[in-house]
Amino acid sequence: MRLQELVETYIAFKASLGMRYRSQSAVLRAYCRAMGDIDIEDVRPGAVLAFITGTGPVTNRWLECYRVLDGLYRYAIGRGFAKRSPLPADTPRHPPPFVPYIYTVDELKRLVAATEILQTQLSPMLAQTMRSLLLLLYGTGMRIGEALSITLRDVDLKSSTITVRDAKFFKTRLIPIGPRLASVLGEYLSRRRQLPMPDGDNSAFLATRTGLHLNYKRVNKLFCRLRRAAQIQRESTARYQPRIHDIRHASAVHRVVAWYRVGAEVQRLLPQLATYLGHVDLRSTQQYLSMTPELLREASLRFDRYAQSEV
């Protein structure tokens, strides 16, 4: 059996189970291109290791590639398509867990202010579009992919809600928004409707000048420009710089801090936060709540008040 045939059969199998399998499919197809159009049994362990390793130190990419290919070869061996797996028997130590960057309120303000540098005659709405995107991400805690997929019909400013359709885990949810964010989006929408709407109300809400959905790669490059202009960075030895996705983490942490400050029952409210963020369970939400100094201080104050009342 040819390697490409195996990969496409495996991807189709995953799709039949109701899985999106998008990023994994990209890894498998890149693997095919790297190995060439060869028979499964002709794949050499050295070539597989070179593909997985790539360049530079071991990262989460190494482990992700290994897991994807391990699933492929387990499938192939289980169905008699292959006799052995060419994957390395020993895996390196896992890199330290990734720690999201929790932006401060001041840093978020600097990011929003920095959008002015994107204003050009060629793209007169780009600055306002990126400003609206940043405020939308922080105000709702959306995933970046969810925000970029929103259409005009999904934004209901009369009821102050946004519909996120067919998101992660194939779920659709309704997100309420506050009056300040609704005002920002309303100002953007009045100008957005002057741009082309190729699909009517199903056209992109956050759009290019041609009315199409913003591309994630372009948005990420623009965000890196904004981050540098706002002078936001980790220490020089860090492996990763702050990401646009970290705004979602900051939104969740800031919400919990605000609950602590007003004396709310945080443990009772966490399941509601999980639903709001579109998580399938509370464990996913807890991973977002990095213990920042601010969050630690508020939690400590809450415990102090509790301990004093018990004494």
Model pLDDT, residue 213: 95
Please check whether residues 223 and 166 belong to one and the same domain: yes
Q: How many domains does the chain have?
A: 3
For the residues 152-165, what does the mean pLDDT come to? 94
Core vs surface per residue 286-299: b (16+ CB within 10 A) or e: eebbeebebbeebe
Phi (first) and psi of residue 96, to 5 degrees? -60, 145
C-beta of residue 227 within 8 angstroms of C-beta of residue 111: yes
Q: Which residue did the predictor score with more confidence, 92 or 232?
A: 232
Using alpha carbons only, give the angle 159, 169, 247 rounded to the nearest 5 degrees: 65
pLDDT in tens, 278-293: 666 656 666 656 656 5
Q: Which residue did the predictor score with more confidence, 67 or 274?
A: 67
For the residues 35-50, what does the mean pLDDT come to? 90
The C-alpha atoms of residue 265 and residue 302 are separated, in whole angstroms, by 10
pLDDT in tens, 188-224: 999 999 999 999 999 999 999 999 999 999 999 999 9
Residue 43's Cβ-count burial label (10 Å; 0-12, 13-18, 19+) is buried
pLDDT in tens, 104-136: 999 999 999 999 999 988 888 999 999 999 999
pTM higher than 0.85, yes or no? no
Using alpha carbons only, give the angle 210, 190, 230 rounded to the nearest 5 degrees: 75
Instruction: Compute the half-sphere exposure of residue 44: CA atoms within 13 Å on the CB side of its CA.
Output: 5
Beta carbons within 10 angstroms of residue 61's beta carbon: 14
CATH code for the domain of 55:
1.10.150
Please check whether residues 146 and 179 belong to one and the same domain: yes
**Structural domain harbouring 208:** 109-229
Does residue 70 belong to any structural domain of this protein?
yes
